[in-house]
A and B are shown apart, each in its own frame.
Chain A
Amino acid sequence: MKSRSPYVILKWAIIAVVLAGIVYAAGLFAANGQLILVVVLGLIGLAILAVYATRRAVPMKYLLPGLIFFLAFQIWPAVFTGATSFTNWGDGHSLTKQESIKAITQSSVVEVQGQPRYELSVAVKEGGDVATADPVYILTNPQTKQVYAGTKDGLTELSATDVTRNDLGRVTAAKGYTILNGRQVNARQDLDDFTVPTRGGAAIKKVGLSEAYEGKPTVTYDAGRDRIIDHRPEAQGQPAKVYGPSNATWVNVQNPDDRLAQGWKENVGFANFKNALTNDTLRAGFLKIAGWNFVFAIVSVLSTFLLGLALALLFNDERLKGKKVMRAVLILPYALPGFVTALVWASMFNQQFGLINNLTGLTVDWLGNGIAAKFAILLTNLWLGFPYMFIVCTGALQSIPGDVKEAAAIDGASGFRTVRSITMPLVLVAVGPLLIASFAFNFNNFSLIFLMTEGGPFEGGQSAIGSTDLLITYAYRLAFTSAAPNFGYAAAISIFIFLIVAVASWFGFRQTKALEEVN
Chain B
Amino acid sequence: MAIATHERLEVANQIQVVGHKRRTGTWWKYALAGVALVWALFPIVFIVSAAMNPSGTLSTTSLVPNNAGLDNFTELFSLRPYGSWYKNTLIVCGVGAFASVFIGASAAYVFSRMRFRGRRVSLMILLLAQMFPVMLAFVAIYLTFFTIGEALPGIGLNTQAGLILAYLGGAMGANVWLLKGYFDTVPRELDEAAKVDGASHARIFFTMTLRLVMPILVTVGMLSFVGLFSEFLLASIFLKDADNQTLAVGLWSLLKADKNKYFGPFCAGALLASLPVMGLYFGVQRWLVSGLTQGSVK
Contacts and interface: CB of A to CB of B under 8 A. Distances in A.
Contacts of A173: none
Interface string A392-430: 101110111111011001000000000000000000001
A350 B26 contact: no
Contact of A355 (B46, B140, B141, B292): B46
Contacts of A62: 106-107, 109-110, 205
A8 B172 CA distance: 26
A203 B285 CA distance: 68
Interface stretch (B58-66, B185-193, B213-221): B58-66
Contacts of B110: 59, 62-63
Contact of A37 (B135, B148, B263): B148
Interface in B135-193: 135-144, 147-148, 150-153, 165-166, 168-173
A391 interface: yes
Contacts of B129: 70, 74-75, 78
A334 B150 contact: no
Contacts of A28: 151-152
B126 to A, nearest CB: 8
Interface stretch (B70-78, B80-88, B273-281): B273-281
Nearest to B115: A59
B140 A444 contact: no
Contacts of B16: 318
A494 B137 contact: yes
Contact of B33 (A65, A326, A335): A326
Contact of B151 (A34, A326, A330, A447): A34
A433 B130 CA distance: 14
A317 to B, nearest CB: 6
A344 B282 contact: no
B8 interface: yes
A6 to B, nearest CB: 13
Contact of B230 (A29, A32, A75, A339): A339
Given A72-B169, A336-B278, A383 B26 contact: no
Size class of B's contact patch? Answer: 35 or more
A490 B139 contact: yes
Contacts of B247: 337, 339
A451 B250 CA distance: 12
A402 B14 contact: yes
Contacts of B229: 337
Contacts of A451: 232, 252
Contacts of A447: 230-233, 248
Given A354-B58, A395-B296, A395-B297, A505 B29 contact: no
Nearest to A30: B151
B293 A399 contact: yes
Interface stretch (A136-144, A251-259, A495-503): A495-503
A296 interface: no
A225 interface: no
B91 interface: no
Interface string B17-43: 111101100100110110011011101
A332 B205 CA distance: 36
A69 B168 contact: yes
B103 A76 contact: no
Interface string A325-341: 01011111111111111
Contacts of B252: 339, 343, 451
A479 B110 CA distance: 40
A331 B36 CA distance: 11
A312 B298 CA distance: 19
A471 to B, nearest CB: 10
A73 B40 contact: no
Interface size class on chain A is 35 or more
Nearest to A33: B151
B232 A402 contact: no
B26 A319 contact: yes
A501 B201 CA distance: 39
B8 to A, nearest CB: 5
Given A353-B58, A399-B297, A498 B136 contact: yes
A498 B109 contact: no
B36 A314 contact: yes
Nearest to A338: B230
Contact of B277 (A328, A337, A348, A444): A337
A491 interface: yes
Nearest to B280: A335
Contacts of B141: 73, 77
A148 interface: no
B3 interface: yes
Contact of B293 (A75, A320, A340, A395): A395
B114 A398 contact: no
Given A395-B8, A398-B12, A479-B139, A501 B33 contact: no
- Which of B103, B170, B273 has the most C-beta atoms of chain A within 10 angstroms of its own C-beta? B103
B267 interface: yes
Given A37-B151, A319-B26, A446-B233, A80 B266 contact: no
Contact of A330 (B36, B106, B135): B36
A198 to B, nearest CB: 25
A359 interface: yes
B255 to A, nearest CB: 6
B292 A311 contact: no
Interface string B229-244: 1111100010000000
Contacts of B62: 355, 358
Given A78-B132, A343-B252, A447-B232, A320 B30 contact: yes
The residue in A28, A76, A345, A399 that gathers the most chain B C-beta atoms within 10 A of its C-beta is A399
A12 interface: no
Contacts of B37: 326, 329-330
B90 interface: no
Given A314-B29, A340-B47, A353-B58, A402 B139 contact: no
A243 interface: no
Interface string A452-484: 000000000000000000001001100110000
A3 to B, nearest CB: 10
A80 B136 CA distance: 11
A66 interface: yes
B132 A402 contact: no
Choose among A74, A430, A479 the residue with the greatest number of B CB atoms under 10 Å from its CB: A74
A431 interface: yes
A318 B15 contact: yes
Contacts of B151: 25, 28-29, 31-32, 34, 37
B284 to A, nearest CB: 11
A439 interface: no
B18 A352 contact: no
Contacts of B273: 337, 340
Contacts of A129: 153
B73 to A, nearest CB: 16
Given A326-B33, A395-B292, A77 B165 contact: no
14 contacts: A7-B202, A28-B151, A66-B106, A69-B169, A69-B171, A332-B44, A388-B292, A391-B292, A392-B296, A395-B294, A395-B296, A399-B3, A447-B248, A491-B139
The 4 closest A-B pairs by CB, nearest first: A395-B293, A73-B169, A66-B172, A77-B137
